[in-house]
Amino acid sequence: MVQQQEPLPGSAAPTTGTAGRIWFITGASRGFGRLWTEAALRRGDRVVATARTLASLADLPQTYGANVLPLELDVTNPEQVKAVVAQAHAHFGRLDIVLNNAGYSLVGTIEEVSAADLKALYDTNIFGALAIIQAALPLLRAQGSGHIIGVSSSLGLVTMPLIGSYCSSKWAFEALHESLATEIKPFGLHVTLVEPGAYATDFGSPQSLKFAPGLDLYAPLRSSMLERMRGSKRGDPQATPAALFALVDAPTPPLRLFLGSQSLPHTRTVYAERLATWEAWAPVSDAAQGQPS
């Protein structure tokens, strides 16, 4: 006897079949992007799968036929972004879910990271996502429906040494989407920040991880942090599609959704410490208000 599971908060019955949801996914060649692309296709949705090189997506049509449209896309090229989003929309007639997944991390202390490295990071992680959003919004507004999903990180809420640049890009990513959610709610559009914790994906591969030139004085910190990252408990990526589908099928999706069980306890502790500090210094803060004008 199969035991029926309780529905997740806000969830509805999943949409299936060839008339199901239409996704636009960036960074679909590997990691979460590839996993979620194939999971959506297996459940009967259709997907516009984009990546920097078309060859990395070449096997998808062989398996999923006309339900997948692979397109080459460099998110740091705004003109290409506009053209590809328009092509995707024209091909399937609409876009239901726009999932900004393309991104990478930069390893280096704040002193070690160059302005050029940081700019390149933001070109992909922030300005690339912004270009996708701005290209898709007029189309979603015209439809009167749509769900923009930004793949952030638990490090969009807390930080770690050695990857402060990456954290900063995700903090900016979070602010951009939080403001966006309020701005486009009157048009019937949804926004969600998906915040994965540590997972056993290839996010730590050379394709997803860049290193700034190191200074010797930070060698002990670098060694200990990299060892800590290597030894951290990582989630199973195959467990994530069900959460993603619960999110997109929910009539009222949340603004934020953690993926994994470790992020909420850690974030709760960090925010408790922040609140305690603000409270302790409240008299100094209040005195800085001065007299009402």
Residues carrying an active site annotation:
152, 166, 170
Q: Using alpha carbons only, how large is the chain's radius of gyration in Å?
A: 20
Contact by Cβ (8 Å): 150, 171: no
Residue 124, SS3 per DSSP:
helix
Alpha carbons 38 and 23: distance in angstroms, whole number? 11
Cβ partners under 8 Å of residue 74, min gap 6: 52, 80
Q: String of b and e for 25-54 (b: at least 16 CB within 10 Å)?
A: bbbbbbbbbbbbbbbbbeeebbbbbbbbee
Nearest to 19 by CA among 43, 39, 38: 43
How far apart, in whole angstroms, are the C-alpha atoms of residue 94 and residue 146?
9
Distance between CA 60 and CA 63 in Å, rounded? 5
Dihedrals phi, psi of 164, to nearest 5 degrees: -60, -30
DSSP, residue by residue, 202-219: GGGSTTTEEEPPPPGGGH
Here the tokens at position 19 are 């008339």
The span from the CA of 1 to the CA of 203, in Å, is 39
